[in-house]
Amino acid sequence: MVSIRSIPSTPGSLSIKDMPWIVEHNESRCMLCGRCTAVCPTGAIKLQYMRKRMPKMVLNASERSNTFKIFVGIRQKTDVDHRCIGCGMCAYVCPNQAIGPVFNPIIDRLRYQSTKGGNAVKRGGRRNVPGPNLLDRILFDRISMLTDPALDAGRHEFELNTLLGRVLPPDEYIKRKLSGEWIPPVREIFPFVIGSMSFGALSPNMWLGLLQGVAYCNEVLGIPVVMASGEGGCPPWILKSKFLKYIILQIASGYFGWDEIIRAIPDMKCDPAAIEIKYGQGAKPGDGGLLMWFKVSELIARLRGVPEGVDLPSPPVHHTLYSIEESIMKMIQSLSMAWDFRVPVYPKISGSTSAKAVLNNIVRNPYAAGLLIDGVDGGTGAAYNVSMDAMGHPIASNLRECYLDLCAQGKQNEIPIFAAGGVGKNGNVTQNGMALIMLGASGVHLGKYIMQAAAGCLGDENNRCNVCNIGICPKGITSQNPKLYRRLDPDKVAERVVDTFKAIKTEMKKIMAPLGRSQSLPIGMSDAIGIEDKDVADRLQIKYIC
């Protein structure tokens, strides 16, 4: 037995078996090029000289039986800052397929040690709950067959767009139209929206790629996709361009970027698609936005009107907020007025049991253009781990409750509810989105799915990568470091955006055609869906199927 003192064991000691990801390295294939160690975003691996004993059978007493061999190998670090995040960039760059991370299925011990210096864990990404979510389990079971013929997804025409903006009740519309009164602005948009990801959270190349792709969808393909800016404004050249009409500008509690926006108004060639007032976010309800200092580059600092290299935490609430009534009223009316009441202005809140109260307030505000509810599975660029994993409300029941509440008031066509938070988190983007639409959403916002589909984001629900917060995104999606974001070609991102929306459009038709729907988006068509879970079915007031 070896004395305990000779073993390097402290409370924080970790072996590679304690790590969530273990780097497997095949020495026999390694050509010692060093690319893996150069690319590793956390510096989790290092090339180092190592010695190993080479025992051999020796019959001659004058010779030693053991020899030692010196070799160069890969060693995985086991401290918190240099942990392997499983991104797999080492595998991408290895010319010989000699290295790659493997998920450690046991509960890692790293999590107990990652509060160094008393700092609670912060990260970017998503809520780490792997496996199918509730939306994945919803089936579209009302198939038109003989009672009415199914439509042909490939040949028939389909109306797939939705409305963003407050819609008047028919009698009120006619009255106002005839007397020439103000009619609230309404946008006809594609129901899958690129959700709020700020210019700051995303790299300039990513943002540019998204916008290029969105513009192509609109101008070439006729798919009216819009994207939301997130907090932090927009580069001035976009504000003054004709592409602004594809952008929903977000104002959040830090008001970052709004100096530039307001100053640009006289020079705007068109109105933005809408204004989103962020009151909450599904990934971190009750927390404001957070752009960590790593990402506050010269450009971002200029856009946001702040010094370089400082943390930019937005307050959890708007400072103007005194009560829900006056906050929503003031903000919505001020922002509507800024564009002369030509732009829909709507609030975004995190999924919560209080969502219905917000909704009912909005219903009574004649200027509110809709409501976006962001469920617990939403993603973020930076937040406390506990906020991401444990705070919030799943989107499905929250949305459904709000929709049924609107139905009871007969106002479901007046206030569009947009849903977000985990749409497509397991890749089933159209299925998830259409399920939400049939539960009552007018459309859905996508964040993580777009990052994954359009830019190859490596994050997953096993906490893979998820380092968007510290600016070391190995794909260059969420980094402000030019060395990293140059890895991302905006043209390629644009191509993937277009591919993604074309595919979503096709899949929407493949869902709607068998349901016999083609003339309008099947919002609230709850007779078309079912789930193999009685409790969920009861809660959502949909069919239980088995």
Residues that bind other proteins (CB under 8 A): 142, 144, 147-149, 151, 156-157, 159, 161, 163, 167-171, 173-174, 177-180, 183, 186, 188, 407-413, 515-520, 522-528
Q: What is the DSSP letter of 52?
A: E
E strand or H helix that includes residue 326: helix 324-338
Handedness of CA 21, 22, 23, 28 (dihedral sign): negative
Beta-carbon count within 10 A of 306 CB: 18
Within 10 angstroms of residue 440's Cβ, the number of other Cβ atoms is 24
* Rounded-to-integer distance, Cα 453 and Cα 475, Å: 13
When the beta carbons of 484 and 542 are compared against other proteins, the nearer one is 542
Contact (Cβ atoms closer than 8 angstroms) between residue 226 and residue 445: no
Q: In terms of CB distance, is 87 or 399 closer to other proteins?
A: 399
Nearer to other proteins, 497 or 528 (CB): 528
Least Å distance between CB 161 and other proteins? 8
- Based on CB atoms, which residue is closest to other proteins, 487 or 505? 505
Query: Cα separations (Å) of 70 from 37, 67, 412, 442?
Result: 20, 10, 73, 65
Q: What is the CA radius of gyration of the chain?
A: 26
Residue with tokens 């970790």: 14
Smallest gap from Cβ 245 to other proteins, in A, equals 15
For other proteins, which is the closer residue by CB, 52 or 156?
Answer: 156
Cβ-based nearer residue to other proteins, 9 or 519? 519
> Least distance from C-beta 411 to other proteins, angstroms?
7
- Name 162's bridge partners: 189
Nearest-angstrom CA–CA distance, 434 and 441: 9
8 A C-beta contact, residue 388 and residue 417: no
Of residues 162 and 500, the one with the C-beta less far from other proteins: 162
Helix, strand, or coil here: 220?
Answer: coil
Q: What is the DSSP string of 495-506?
A: HHHHHHHHHHHH
Query: Measuring CA to CA, how many Å separate 423 from each of 139, 187, 377, 432, 448?
Result: 15, 22, 8, 6, 8
With contact defined as beta carbons under 8 Å apart, do 513 and 230 qualify? no
| Distance separating alpha carbons of residues 345 and 396, to the nearest angstrom | 24
Closest approach, Cβ 156 to other proteins, in A, equals 7
Alpha carbons 496 and 209: distance in angstroms, whole number: 9
> Is residue 65 classed as helix, strand or coil in its secondary structure?
coil
Please report how close the Cβ of residue 191 comes to other proteins at its closest, in angstroms. 13
Nearer to other proteins, 26 or 409 (CB): 409
In whole angstroms, the minimum distance from the beta carbon of 179 to other proteins comes to 7
Q: Please report how close the Cβ of residue 222 comes to other proteins at its closest, in angstroms.
A: 9
Find tokens 């991370």 and name the residue.
101
Q: Which is nearer to other proteins, 179 or 323 (CB)?
A: 179
Shortest distance, position 365 Cβ to other proteins, whole Å = 18
Cβ neighbourhood burial of 449 (10 Å; 0-12, 13-18, 19+): buried
Q: How far is the CB of 400 from other proteins (least distance, A)?
A: 13
Least separation in angstroms between residue 223's CB and other proteins is 13
What is the widest separation between alpha-carbon atoms in the chain? 113
CB 222 within 8 A of CB 505: no
Shortest distance in whole angstroms from residue 160 CB to other proteins: 12
Q: Which helix (H) or strand (E) holds 275?
A: strand 274-278
Give the residue with the Cβ less far from other proteins, 118 or 149. 149
Residue 85 in contact with residue 458, Cβ under 8 Å?
A: no
Given the DSSP bridges, would you call strands 162-164 and 187-189 parallel, antiparallel or unpaired?
antiparallel
The tokens of 140 are what? 């579209």
Q: Smaller CB distance to other proteins: residue 171 or 535?
A: 171
CB of 173 vs other proteins, minimal distance in Å = 4
Nearer to other proteins, 151 or 331 (CB): 151
